[in-house]
Amino acid sequence: MNPGTIALISATAFIVLGIGAWISFYVGKKNNTEEDWLVGGRSLPMYVVAFTQYATAVGGGVLVAHVGIGYAWGLSVFWYELFVVAGMLIIAVFANWLRKGRFSTIPDIFVRLYGRNKTLLSVVAIAVILVPFGWLATQFVAFASLFSEVTGIPFTPLIVAMAIISLLFVLPGGLTSVAWSDFFFGVFMVGISIVIAIYAVMSAGGWGEVVERVPDDFFTMPQGLTLAGAGTIVLWFFAIVPGTLTNQLYYQRVFASRSGKDARTSLYLGAVMVMIAGVYAFFIGVSIRAMNPTMGEDGRELAAGWFLTQVPTWLLALYGAFLMATIVSTTGSALQSVVANLINDLRGAFIKEKTSGKQTITLSRWCTVGVTAVAAVLAIVYPKALEWLVATYAYSASILAVPMLVGIIMAKRFRIPVQVAFAAMGVGLVGCGVAHLMGTTIPYAVFGIVASAVAYVIAMAIWKPVRVPGGLEPDGTAEESTERVGAPEGEQA
């Protein structure tokens, strides 16, 4: 690629990211309390929450892997988006309960359900960190993979650049600055994705030519939905649905909403936009298949990169900015989530010393820099994007899914002893790990989640749930509810 084209791409990306960074610094300066950092001040408008849910969910995976799925298996790409949407809709069912609880992180939910316990808080925080940290490393790899092929710039400098850029959207104001910059990025992403999809179809000669050149079963029902194979679809289900349900990034945006109603509506709108992302991946994937059918299933992850080399300079500049916005929106969200757990949960579990809001924000900023550096180093040393995601989703879901979801359902009438949660989390982790080491054909997340569910049932038979008049419906502050519901730390086993 000639220097002029690289300069145009860089300039366009700089403008788009510059607007996002300006928004981030502007709102960060105006909203700079500890609650703003953790949960957006619990006052984000519904439209901002909807777009930040969408921008968080749609990252490098849609840009690379999902386009590749559309290229190789046609309509099967929609399974992935449908599973994300299913998870978001289930969260929406509990949105009002979650928003009323005034939680800041998922470990706060476990404290409400099972009582305050240092070990529980630590295990849950570590399990929660797995997914956003995996996302963070994955986005670094996705960015470097795409732009290295287009620009010829080596892999490592691109990851370092992405890490530095990500910091600009978290350091000013935590979740508040991330959410508002995501709103801008989300609007930009929806608009540009439509433009790119239309161009891809026209480049292939129009929709009629695409249908003519691509195998018929890519478009027909139900054949098109089965091309990826039952095993792959099951893998996606057990990776994505439980992973979405235990992904703190979605919950933080519920906590940040002005009301439970706003939180639920934002999840519905976010789900619609996620499906639009699936349409984008499908149209581009099949259009690339029509233009270049020689890559085959094994080369599907090369499809998006190949398409970048075929577009005119003006669109390549917009596409480059689109890719940057998409990846940055996800890295910022993931980074802020990891830091929230480290500072709010792990640090709080072991350090009793009180700090002011200003001190907590300063510590969070330093922690943000440290986490970014670690993720960048790991992405350079181990740049296998898909393996990052599959493993982090599987282990996190095996540990968290059953005790959290069943706990929330039973909270209407019962408080579950903390021993039940420990049993489910421990057996889920072991089941997932053993299946992973054995290399089972069935996704190892299945073993972990099923083992966790069985352990939960058996543990409840041993440690009986305690009926709570009125249930554990949150009312008042999280601290008041925790004191009312959870036994003191020393009384928990």
353 and 89 in contact (C-beta within 8 Å)? no
Pick from 92-106, 323-337, 372-386: least confident: 372-386
Residue 389's pLDDT band (cuts 50, 70, 90): low
| Tally of CB atoms within 10 A around 147 | 24
Q: Which residue has the tokens 């370092």?
A: 160
Domain ranges of the chain: 3-396
Exposure on the CB side of residue 57, measured as CA atoms within 13 A: 35
Q: The pTM is what?
A: 0.85
Residue 292 φ then ψ, to 5° = -145, 85
Query: Looking at the chain, how many residues does it have?
Result: 493
Q: Take residue 347 and report the two structure tokens written for it.
A: 């640090």
pLDDT number for residue 344: 84
Task: Tell me which amino acid residue 159 is.
Answer: I
Does the pLDDT at position 450 exceed 90? Answer: yes
Q: Which CATH architecture has domain 3-396?
A: Up-down Bundle (1.20)
CA–CA distance, 239 with 395 (Å, rounded to integer): 9
CA–CA distance, 8 with 263 (Å, rounded to integer): 39
Residue 375's pLDDT band (cuts 50, 70, 90): confident
80 and 66 in contact (C-beta within 8 Å)? yes
Q: Take residue 433 and report the two structure tokens written for it.
A: 């790990």
Pick from 20-29, 148-157, 399-408, 467-476: least confident: 467-476
CA–CA distance, 463 with 63 (Å, rounded to integer): 47
pLDDT number for residue 293: 87
Among residues of the chain, what percentage have pLDDT more than 70? 90
Left (φ > 0), alpha (ψ -120 to 50) or beta: where does 471 sit? left
Pick from 175-189, 245-259, 288-302: least confident: 288-302
Report the candidate in 297, 235, 385 with the shortest Cα–Cα distance to residue 69: 297
CA–CA distance, 429 with 142 (Å, rounded to integer): 28
pLDDT number for residue 361: 87
CA–CA distance, 471 with 475 (Å, rounded to integer): 11
3-state secondary structure the chain: CCHHHHHHHHHHHHHHHHHHHHHHHHHHHHCCCHHHHHHHHHCECHHHHHHHHHHHHCCHHHHHHHHHHHHHHHHHHHHHHHHHHHHHHHHHHCHHHHHHCCCCCHHHHHHHHHCCCHHHHHHHHHHHHHHHHHHHHHHHHHHHHHHHHHHCCCHHHHHHHHHHHHHCCCCCCCHHHHHHHHHHHHHHHHHHHHHHHHHHHHHCCCHHHHHHHCCHHHCCCCHHHHCCCHHHHHHHHHHHHHHHHCCHHHHHHHHCECCHHHHHHHHHHHHHHHHHHHHHHHHHHHHHHHHCCCCCHHHHHHHHHHHHCCCCHHHHHHHHHHHHHHHHHHHHHHHHHHHHHHHHHHHHHHCCCCCCHHHHHHHHHHHHHHHHHHHHHHHHHCCCHHHHHHHHHHHHHHHHHHHHHHHHHHCCCEECCHHHHHHHHHHHHHHHHHHHHHCCCCCHHHHHHHHHHHHHHHHHHHCCCEECCCCCCCCCCHHHHHHHHCCCHHHCC
Mean pLDDT confidence for 414-437: 92
Q: Take residue 93 and report the two structure tokens written for it.
A: 């069912």
Left (φ > 0), alpha (ψ -120 to 50) or beta: where does 141 sit? alpha
Q: Take residue 126 and report the two structure tokens written for it.
A: 């570590």
pLDDT number for residue 476: 36
pLDDT number for residue 422: 95
Dihedral of the alpha carbons of 302, 383, 158, 365, in degrees to the nearest 10 = 130
Residue 343's pLDDT band (cuts 50, 70, 90): confident
pLDDT number for residue 22: 93
Residue 474 φ then ψ, to 5° = -70, 135
Task: Tell me which amino acid residue 96 is.
Answer: N
Residue 490's pLDDT band (cuts 50, 70, 90): very low
- Paired with 44 in beta bridges are 257
Pick from 109-118, 221-230, 399-408: least confident: 221-230
CA–CA distance, 90 with 117 (Å, rounded to integer): 27
Does the pLDDT at position 201 exceed 90? Answer: yes
Residue 410 φ then ψ, to 5° = -80, -10
Please, what is the Cα angle at 115 between 111 and 120, to 5 degrees? 65
Q: Take residue 119 and report the two structure tokens written for it.
A: 């070990």
Task: Name the burial class of residue 438, with classes exposed (0-12), middle (13-18) and buried (19+) by CB atoms within 10 angstroms of its CB.
Answer: exposed
pLDDT number for residue 350: 72
Does the pLDDT at position 78 exceed 70? Answer: yes
Report the candidate in 367, 351, 325, 40 with the shortest Cα–Cα distance to residue 171: 367
Q: Which residue has the tokens 């929709």?
A: 207
Does the pLDDT at position 196 exceed 60? Answer: yes
pLDDT number for residue 387: 60
pLDDT in tens, 49-63: 999 888 877 765 666
pLDDT in tens, 286-321: 999 999 988 876 677 778 778 878 888 888 888 788
